[in-house]
Structure 1
Amino acid sequence: MAQCEFSYKGYNYKKNIREMSNSKRANDNIPGPTQEGVRPMEEYLQVLEEEKMHLRLDVDVQKLETEKLRKGKNKAEEDLKSLKTDYKKLRLSIRTAGLGKTSEQWCQEIREEKIKADRWERKFQEA
């Protein structure tokens, strides 16, 4: 240190010298830019253009798939609406034809008709 060009020997002299020399060493250890891995700006732009084109194609494919799904959904909704209408018509026709009765209701109706038939038979036999 005696041969150093600094002639100042004040408060914290050694500490200041140490900090200055260490900071110089720390800056020397930082690697500078090399020309090995560096691509020209035109190559970067070309890569970006290619990526942009691929993204556009992906977006177009997604739009087509979305449109296809939307059409399928609309068709399914129309089919469901048509089925509901057909079901309502069928239920109405079953009700008007009397086919909507349960087996118990049919059995009850048959019993009532048998009772009526027996009553008429007795009336004819009495007469």
Structure 2
Amino acid sequence: MKRLAVSPTTTPEFIEWWGRRINDNIPGPSQGDSQATGKYLRVVPSKLEIIRQDFERINSELEKKIKQMEEEKMNLRLDIYV
């Protein structure tokens, strides 16, 4: 980062010019650029998000298996009573 030493010979006009000169090198956001770049951006999930999605998928599969086994258990009980 560049620093400006303020001395008695430094005028307010020079300080203002120096600030503009540095800030002119920083591109500001413009409406056209942000819309054009938006179509090239994509969301990349984090490792934690991927693990959470895998957990939810496996959990739902296990819940389905549990329901299926409970139904089979009920059917076997009904067969015994009949």
Give me the TM-score of the superposition, normalised by structure 2: 0.47
RCO (CA 8 Å, sep 6+): is it higher in 1 or 2? 1
Q: Rg larger in 1 or in 2? A: 1
Bigger helix share = 1
Give me the TM-score of the superposition, normalised by structure 1: 0.32
